[in-house]
Amino acid sequence: MNIHRFLLVIPSIDIKDGKTVRVVQGIPELNCAEYGNDPVEMAKLWRAENSKMIHIVDFDGAIDHSHKNLKIIEKICSSVVIPVEFSGGIRNLDDAKVVMDSGVSRMAINTMAIENKKEFDRLFQLYGPTKVVICLDIIDEELVTRGRRKKTGINYIGFAKEMAEIGIDRFIVTDVNRNGLLQGPNIQYSLNIAKNSNCKVTHSGGIRNKDELMDLQSLINEGIDSVIVGRAFYENRFPCQKLWRVAESGIFN
């Protein structure tokens, strides 16, 4: 029996100084009143719109290694009955434990996996591939870290292969140059990761309309099974209710 699979569309909530912000090329912009200031209310809105999952980026954690938004994260997790994926400032095992204790369902790791491999190995052994995914933030085929501000000189494909070998089975792939600009997605980076790592890929960045979601939908069998959407949702580029197209079960498979 053929089971038709649908792209999982995940709204992103980007947080800085306790408020929802817009992010353009990795730089958070404050005072975006049209987005609403309260991340908790935004999470409730996406759940009311029938979202199956929420992706949160803590820019204070990513840039300053601050935990000042932790109470907000805890409140989001207790306010919605869907999985919450978290990214931002997890530099060591203690950070990971704090984040997971807040109610987060899955951690997306970037800097630690590149800069502190030994500590990342400890974290991965503890939590495993269902709780840990890797963020690949890319500028001109080079990985960037620390809130997308530090170039590493590391090619994204080679690093993805290395992570796949230790057991990672999902990557979140972002072309930082396209992030938040509504100029269309760089799908090629995501395809390259899916092909070279044989892992599942969540595409992030650049989506601006329903047609581009359908382009990604056509690539599910290539390994791209989900997409994180930010600015296009907040600017009402398409109706939300028609986009949530995945069964409640199996989100973390």
The CATH number of the domain holding residue 135 is 3.20.20.70
Provide the domain limits for residue 174: 8-242
Catalytic residue among 60, 137, 175, 215: 137
Q: Evaluate if residue 87 carries a pLDDT over 50.
A: yes
**Residue 14 catalytic?**
yes
Q: pLDDT, tens digit, for every residue of 125-138?
A: 999 999 999 999 99
Report the pLDDT value the prediction gives residue 36, as an integer from 0 to 100: 64
**Residue 64 catalytic?**
no
Asked, for residue 29, whether it belongs to a domain, the answer is yes
Report the pLDDT value the prediction gives residue 146, as an integer from 0 to 100: 80
- Do residues 190 and 174 touch, judged by C-beta distance below 8 A? no
Q: pLDDT, tens digit, for every residue of 119-168?
A: 999 999 999 999 999 999 999 999 998 877 789 999 999 999 999 999 99
Provide CB contacts within 8 A for 153, sequence distance 6+. Answer: 142
- In the chain, the number of structural domains is 1
pLDDT band at 253 (very low <50, low <70, confident <90, very high): very low
Asked, for residue 79, whether it belongs to a domain, the answer is yes
What element of type H or E holds 142? strand 142-145
Report the pLDDT value the prediction gives residue 109, as an integer from 0 to 100: 96
Asked, for residue 3, whether it belongs to a domain, the answer is no
Q: Kindly report the pTM of this predicted structure.
A: 0.88
Asked, for residue 105, whether it belongs to a domain, the answer is yes
- Do residues 145 and 116 touch, judged by C-beta distance below 8 A? no
